Amino acid sequence: MTQHPSPIPCIIALGSNLGDSPTILQGALTRLSQHPQITLQQQSRWYRTAPVGPPQPDYLNGCVLLAVQLSPHALLNTLLEIEQEFGRVRRDPWGPRSLDLDIIFYGDTILETPSLTLPHPRMQDRAFVLIPLCDIAPQWVDPVTGKTVKDLANRLDCSGVHLQ
């Protein structure tokens, strides 16, 4: 695993709409906090959100602020491993899932590779990411738009996002 010399602040979005979502999400947080190169610094509240894509159950969504000593790709691989541990099967990209872990921000890194784009390319249009993120980092500046998370959230329809 590639280690980064000093901790980088990262935002991860979590979501689940299959199985026992509260237990799955808590388990994912536990796994993240047990990783020797990841420190869980802050956690948002949980929000029940309307799904995007085909008909499916509502999601339970939240965000966490981490300090990581992993490269962006090593962090992505760690998240993919945790998703698999909790039964994530990738079929339909917009379909239901037991666990979804997305890197939203990796410090102020802007990156585009075949396997990873940072910041997350669709986060600025997703109230289910930005509303929980406002709980923990409303002043975080998106390095692409130069806008704060709060400013990005204020321009969206947030009617489908409800505190759990």
Q: What is the CATH number for 139? A: 3.30.70.560
DSSP 3-state of 67: strand
| Residues 44 and 61 sit within 8 Å (Cβ to Cβ) | no
SS3 content of the chain, % helix, strand, coil (to 5): 30, 30, 40
Quote the number of domains for the chain: 1
Give the range among 24-28, 53-57, 60-64, 93-97 with minimum mean pLDDT: 93-97
Alpha-carbon distance 130 to 47, whole Å? 11
CB 148 within 8 A of CB 141: yes
Give the residue numbers marked as catalytic. 88, 97, 100, 102
Residues 61, 128: contact at Cβ < 8 Å? yes
In terms of C-beta density within 10 A (0-12 exposed, 13-18 middle, 19 or more buried), how is residue 5 classed? exposed
- DSSP bridge pairs for 42: 65
Query: Picking from 67-71, 83-87, 115-119, 150-154, which range would have the lowest pLDDT averaged per residue?
Result: 83-87
pLDDT in tens, 83-110: 989 886 666 666 788 899 999 999 999 9
pTM, full prediction: 0.93
Q: Residue 46 is part of which domain span?
A: 3-163
Integer-rounded Cα radius of gyration of the chain: 15
The H helix count followed by the E strand count for the chain is: 4, 8
Contact 48, 58 (CB under 8 A): yes
What average pLDDT does the chain have?
93
